Amino acid sequence: MRPEHAAWLDLVREEIVAPQLPICDPHHHLWDHPKERYLVEELHQDTGSGHNVVQTVFVDCMSGYRTGGPEELRPVGETEFALQQSRASEAGGGAVIAAIVSYADLRLGKAVEEVLAAHVEAGDGRFRGIRHATSRDPDPAIRVNHVGSPAGLMGTPAFRDGMATLGAMGLSFDAWLYHPQIGELVDAAQEVPEVTIVLDHLGGPLGIGPYTDRTAVMEGWRASIAAVATCPNVFLKLGGIGMADFGIAWHQRERPPTSDDLASAWGEPIRYAIDTLGPQRCMFESNFPVDRRGCSYPVL
For the stretch 124-160, pLDDT in tens is: 999 999 999 999 999 999 999 999 999 999 999 999 9
pLDDT average, residue stretch 9-29:
96
- Sheet containing 127-131: give its strands across: 22-28, 52-59, 96-102, 127-131, 172-175, 196-199, 234-238, 282-284
pLDDT per position as a tens digit, 41-59: 999 999 999 999 999 999 9
Mean pLDDT score across all residues of the chain: 97
**Is residue 118 predicted with pLDDT exceeding 80?**
yes
Q: What is the pLDDT of residue 1?
A: 63
CB 234 within 8 A of CB 187: no
- Determine, yes or no, domain membership for 299: no
- CA–CA dist 19, 295 (Å, integer): 19
- Determine, yes or no, domain membership for 300: no
- Determine, yes or no, domain membership for 17: yes
Q: In terms of residue numbers, what domain contains 212?
A: 3-293
CB 88 within 8 A of CB 116: no
- Determine, yes or no, domain membership for 298: no
- Determine, yes or no, domain membership for 278: yes
Q: How many domains does the chain have?
A: 1
Q: What is the pLDDT of residue 4?
A: 85
pLDDT per position as a tens digit, 63-95: 999 999 999 999 999 999 999 999 999 998 899
Residue positions counted in the chain:
300
Could you tell me the pTM of the whole model?
Answer: 0.97
pLDDT per position as a tens digit, 247-300: 999 999 999 999 999 999 999 999 999 999 999 999 999 999 999 999 999 999
Residue 209: CATH number of its domain: 3.20.20.140
- Determine, yes or no, domain membership for 93: yes
